[in-house]
Structure 1
Amino acid sequence: MTSSKPLEGLLVLEFCQFLAGPSAGLRLADLGARVIKIERPNHGEAGRQIAIKNLRVDGSSLVFHTLNRNKESYAANLKDAEDLQKVKELIAKADVMTHNFRPGVMEKIGLDYPTVKAINPQIVYATVTGYGAEGPWSAKPGQDLLVQCMSGLAHLTGDKNDGPTPFGLAVADIITGSHMTQGILAALLRSAKTQKGALVEVSLLESMLDFQFEVITTYLNDGNKLPQRAEKGSGHAYLSAPYGVYATKDGHISLAMGGFTKLIEVLNSDRLRGYSEEETFTKRDEIMKVLHELLAQKTTQEWLALFEPQGIWCSAVFDYEQLMQHEAYKVLKMDQKLPLDTGEFIHTTRCPIRLNDERIFASKPAPRVGQDTDAITQEFNL
């Protein structure tokens, strides 16, 4: 564990729920910031109740625990004048404040940016919305699956004849949280030089559009032609064969871009020799069909042993069990166990960033609702 982290001494107040905002707070906390969650008394933030596979630990969902390690919890009823005043006193001493309420909510509470800026001119005030603060979708629920589907993303994954296929994880939330973190850090750098705060705004929709900048740029510069997924084994709607995933005799193998001539040479296939490099996209489905038939004849390991020495970019297709049994995963030391007061523990991943060749592991699990209220009240004389 690093003895000194770059964000130590930074105070962050997190008025966030679910995934996007808390994931930004997670990264700031991993890097040393003190992150205090401002939560409703008793029930806490709504993310405590959102469970994957109904898995719960110590009264909160497992999802909540994955996003809120290294944080503190201060319980406050923002509709209560006394509690709101105490929170404003905290804001006066904070460096960063984050929230992901719908547009208009913080204005009603009295914690909108102009109000907060008047309390603390140097604060970095960061918000997440679903679709921005204006426009016909501004009041629509900012939910991950909805945004994936509305952003065009669901038409990139899967095969040609599949319906729209979203990612099997909350990619919009996590990417938006990453963008929020970048904006906060940039604003803090400016603040250190100018002593001026900033309003940082991100939205799920804008983050998903940026996430697709490669393919959206292709669409905009290619006569607005919609992406066409490969007929079978599609890995990328805009890339040529052999790019994709193929069944082998005992599993699957992925082939990446480039090296088509070398691939023909190694496979020694007359059927493939009839295609030129220029036809790898225009006749992508034909070529991939031949490859599907050829690659089904040997095991994954047999193909890897043939391809890798020849510099052909390829890999086995692992599930989590296969991955975590592999030495390549073990050497990363990517997981950690966080003990709870109940005697249970949370087995999760660590921060992926290394500092000075040291991995960053968490020092404590997610807090219970209001676990730190009394201590914070005393410390800040609220």
Structure 2
Amino acid sequence: MDRQLGLLADVRIVAFTTFLIGPAATQYLADMGADVVKVEEPHHGPHERHWSGAGTFLNDVSVFFLMSNRNVRSVGLDLKHPDGRQAAIDLCRTADVVVTNFRPGVMERLGLGWEDLRAVKPDLIWACASGYGSDSPYRDLPGQDLLVQSISGLPSVSGRAGGPPVAAGAAIVDQHSATLLALGILGAIHHRDVTGEGQRVEVTMVQAALDLQAEALSYHLNGEGLRRPSSGLATSYHEGPYGFYEVADGHVALSMSPVRLISEALGEPVSLRQLLDPADAFARREEIYDALAPLLRPHSRADLVELLRARGVWCAQLNSWDEMPRDPVVAHLDPIKVIDDPQAGEVRVVGHPISFSSGEPSLRRAPALGEHTEEVLAAAGYDENALARLRDERVVA
């Protein structure tokens, strides 16, 4: 397929975004063809241009920025300067959607809040994300993934009983918040196309963190006293043998399968005979784990998975990140893409997660700071003299 995806080709988004939630949300939409214009501080750019996890830079370019800002255009504007603020308002006047994940109150202080911009464009969609919400008692606190995980209770139900709390190994609340923000924007676009009405869309990280736990929380909220397992079971609410089991060369995950099937695959060992009743699968989940663990340990991952799958047991080998790309299903999906950046060189990133029959999601590099300022402002009505004056006054990059 060589057609560029244009599902959102007629949608213009102006993004006042930083860190991960806002950039990731708008990147999803840019992948689908939306014209996303990222407004950046003109002299040094936002935080994400100068920070990267594990200090990972390619030729002095932040991998964090490269992976979360592809397919967008960059305009450098000094929003604290009256002319820069006016230019931002003029840009928003041309937009279908304005997206921000600045802390609550920042856009309002800049004169770019929901009420400000709907006055100049009544059908505007104004979408925001924050840690705790615009009217929350925590509104001025930092909305950071680990902190929000902690508030939501997620680490308290992860890991083993008696052990320390366990956080997710990735910024899952940030990424899920970004997905929800993009989803909300798409819903608002459809509503506007049907009714002509703009609206305000808001996502909070706390709500996203709770949404990630919706299944387990539903059991807890309806009376089930869940407890963290003391063994390698993976959750507090699935029946055995649900968990990770050590084998000769790593670990294998077993999911929701009858112990009877596993017993048959292993030759019906004596130690499992008292654990075959499906009615006991939850109540005796720790016993099931403890009985299975020594039986599985001598096998290799590949041999055990082949043996168990032949009996219909739900299982998979636990891959490391180095092994993951070679797994047949990952290789088939081909999710790791390469972007050529003029400074960073070849950048490997995770591609857009949705496929469409109408075309391929875009995969253009992240922009240099202010790379598109002149073309974007020219399209908003600024002539060369006005642009020259803004450059001379260092309002734009």
TM-score by length of 1: 0.95
Stretch moving more, 87-96 or 270-279 = 270-279
Q: Give the C-alpha shift of residue 249 in structure 1.
A: 1.7
Instruction: Please tell me whether the aligned partners of residues 265 and 308 of structure 2 are also in contact (alpha carbons under 8 angstroms).
Output: yes
Deviation at 1:328, TM superposition (A): 2.6
Task: Report if the CA contact (8 A) 2:5-2:32 is conserved.
Answer: no
Deviations 1:226-248 (A, max 9, x none): x3222121212111110000001
CA contact (8 A) 2:160 2:228 kept: yes
Shift of 1:263: 1.8
Deviations along 1:205-260, one digit per CA (max 9) or x if unpaired, are: 0111111111111111015x3x3222121212111110000001222111001322
1:250 is matched with 249
Question: CA contact under 8 A between 2:128 and 2:202: conserved in structure 1?
Answer: yes
CA contact (8 A) 2:40 2:46 kept: yes
Task: After TM superposition, list the pairs within 5 Å mapping 1:132-281 onto structure 2.
Answer: 132-222=133-223, 225=225, 227-267=226-266, 268-275=268-275, 276-281=277-282
Distance 1:20 1:139 in 2: 17
Q: In 2, distance between residues paired with 1:266 and 1:60?
A: 52
Contact between 1:353 and 1:359, CA under 8 Å: does it hold in 2? no
CA deviation vs aligned residue, 1:257-279 (integer Å, no higher than 9, x gap) = 13222222222122211123222
- Check 1:25–1:148 CA distance in 2 against 1; reply closer, same or farther (3 A cut): same
SS of residue in 1 equivalent to 2:23: helix
Segments of 5+ residues of structure 1 without an aligned counterpart are none
Query: Mean alpha-carbon deviation: is it higher for 174-183 or for 154-163?
Result: 154-163
Q: Distance in 2 between matches of 1:76 and 1:231?
A: 54
User: Deviations along 1:76-125, whole A, 9 cap, x unmatched?
Assistant: 11110011111111111100100011121112111110111111111110
Q: Give a deviation string over 1:296-337, Cα, whole Å, max 9, x none.
A: 122222212221111100011111221212333222121221
Aligned to 2:42: 41
Q: Which has the higher contact order (CA 8 A, sep 6+)?
A: 2
Q: Which moved more, 1:119-128 or 1:301-310?
A: 301-310
2:296 and 2:257 map into 1 onto residues whose CA distance is 17
- Paired residues, number: 379
SS in 1 for 2:353: strand
TM-score normalized with structure 2 length: 0.92
Tell me, yes or no, if the aligned pair for 2:61 and 2:343 is still in contact at 8 Å: no
Task: Show CA shifts across 1:124-166 (max 9, x none).
Answer: 1000010112232222110011001110111232222321101
Distance 2:259 2:118 in 1: 58
Task: Among all aligned residue pairs of Structure 1 and Structure 2, give the percentage whose two residues are the same amino acid.
Answer: 30
Q: Which residue of 1 aligns with 2:17?
A: 16
Kept in 1: contact 2:80–2:110 (CA 8 A): yes
Q: Which moved more, 1:331-340 or 1:365-374?
A: 331-340
Tell me, yes or no, if the aligned pair for 1:127 and 1:200 is still in contact at 8 Å.
Answer: yes
Ranges in structure 2 where 5+ consecutive residues have no aligned partner: 383-397
- Could you tell me whether the CA contact under 8 Å between 1:24 and 1:178 is conserved in 2? yes
Tell me how far apart the structure 2 counterparts of residues 357 and 317 of structure 1 sit (CA, whole Å): 35
Q: Which runs of 4+ in 1 moved over 6 A?
A: none
- Which amino acid counterpart does residue 89 of structure 2 have in structure 1? K
SS of aligned partner of 1:192: helix
**2:4 paired residue number:** 3
Partner in structure 1 of residue 391 of structure 2: none
Distance 2:120 2:53 in 1: 39
Structure 1 residues 46 and 234: CA distance shift in structure 2, 3 A: same
- Kindly indicate whether the alpha-carbon contact (under 8 Å) linking 2:6 and 2:359 is maintained by their aligned counterparts in 1: no
- Residues of 2 paired with 1:344 and 1:313: CA distance? 41
C-alpha contact (below 8 Å) 1:39/1:369 kept by paired residues: yes
- AA of the residue aligned to 1:372: H
**Aligned residue number for residue 324 of structure 2:** 323
CA distance in 1, matches of 2:31, 2:146: 27
2:92 maps to: 91
**Higher mean Cα deviation, 146-155 or 327-336?**
327-336
Backbone CA RMSD of aligned residues: 1.5
